[in-house]
Structure formats: C-alpha cells, structure tokens
Chain A
Amino acid sequence: QKEVEQNSGPLSVPEGAIASLNCTYSDRGSQSFFWYRQYSGKSPELIMSIYSNGDKEDGRFTAQLNKASQYVSLLIRDSQPSDSATYLCAVQGGKLIFGQGTELSVKP
C-alpha cells in the first residue's frame, strides 16, 4: 500500500462546477497535511495546509481532514480554466510524503 494515495485522474469538470480531490494516507501519526498545485513545467505551490479535523476554507478552496478515516480532501468551488493543473496531496510524518497527484482539467 502506498503511503499517500490520491484518486486517479485525469479529472475533468466544466467551468463553474465543484472539483473534488481526494487523498488517503497510511501513517496514523501524521500531523500536517498540505495541498499543492503544480502547473506543467513548474514547481509545486502551496494552496492549503490543514492540521486538525474538520474543514478549512480559503476563498474558493476548502480542505477537509478526517484523521480517524485517514482521509483529506480538497474542494474547488466555481472551478476556472486557470485551475487546470496537477494537485498534489502531501502528508507530514517524519518527512513530507507526496501522493502521485491528480490532474484536473477545467473545460470552458
């Protein structure tokens, strides 16, 4: 079992829709959780960090964490074509472990 698993993509949504990205992790001791966005040919940039159970909202982005289920998700409301990128879930235990990423395509 991979340490961090993301739902396989690519995920295609129409402009204005909600995009839902999911991630599960295996280390129950993990304390910090991050979502990064990576455009093709660029380095990852941080979108959200979340440390406690529940929801955390920042603009059109909402991160959700459920430590009991070892699950973290990212919702993108009112998706825009500029949101088209690969989204990386990262989980911090002793080191930062990344999922394989989910490619999101937002169609105009």
Chain B
Amino acid sequence: KAGVTQTPRYLIKTRGQQVTLSCSPISGHRSVSWYQQTPGQGLQFLFEYFSETQRNKGNFPGRFSGRQFSNSRSEMNVSTLELGDSALYLCASSLEDSQETQYFGPGTRLLVL
C-alpha cells in the first residue's frame, strides 16, 4: 500500500500571502489529521477531518483552515502568512478514528520570508 503523500514538499512564500497544502491518506483511511512542527513548539495538533467534517481542532488562529473531500484527501490553507508560520506541516492518516495508530506523510516544509 502506498503511504501518506503530501504536496508540495517545499514552499517559499512571503508575508501576507496564502498557501494551500495537500494530503492524500493511505488507501482506505478515512481520518486525516494535520500537525505543525517547529523547533520551539514541537509537534502541535491543528485539526482532524473525518467524512468531510472537522472532528477536532487545536489551538490555532482562524487563519488556519482545512477541508476534506469525499475521497478522504485533505487540504489545509493558511491565509495572511506570518513569519512564525514557517514550519514543517505534517499530515497523518488513520483508519476510522484518530485514537488508532496514525501514519505520517513526509511533510511540507514552508518558509515564510
């Protein structure tokens, strides 16, 4: 089975721009979670989607949003980028429930200048 895929792998943006990241879960997995990883804050939960619905949300501002499509693929969007948004954004998928084992994609490294 193919693993979790994320595109793009690397992005450079400037402050004020917006960005959309994409995640394709493992085939058959219906739950997709997004995380932000920075050296200072570690891995922080952004949100989880299941059946096209946001099931859980972390403590991030409204500039961070996401959605899930009927094929379980997910996108996250960050609007009005700030320098502090520079991070590795990780997507993880699990079968039905984020209580189960989550498998991570390779991540998208975002640099905001």
Contacts and interface: CB of A to CB of B under 8 A. Distances in A.
Interface in B35-73: 35, 42-45, 48, 56, 58
Looking at chain B's contact residues, the main secondary structure is strand
B42 A95 contact: no
A54 to B, nearest CB: 19
Interface stretch (B12-20, B77-85, B100-108): B100-108
B101 A95 contact: no
Contacts of B107: 43
A92 B99 contact: yes
B93 interface: no
A107 to B, nearest CB: 24
A45 B48 CA distance: 19
A94 B54 CA distance: 13
Interface residues of A, number: 20
A106 interface: no
Nearest to A86: B42
A96 B88 CA distance: 17
Looking at chain A's contact residues, the main secondary structure is strand
A34 B101 CA distance: 8
A97 interface: yes
A72 B100 CA distance: 17
B104 A44 contact: yes
Nearest to A101: B42
A38 B101 CA distance: 16
Interface in A24-64: 31-32, 34, 36, 42-46, 49
A65 to B, nearest CB: 15
B104 A45 contact: yes
A63 B57 CA distance: 29
Interface of B: 33, 35, 42-45, 48, 56, 58, 88, 90, 92, 98-107
Leading 5 A-B pairs by shortest Cβ distance: A98-B43, A43-B104, A100-B42, A95-B56, A95-B45
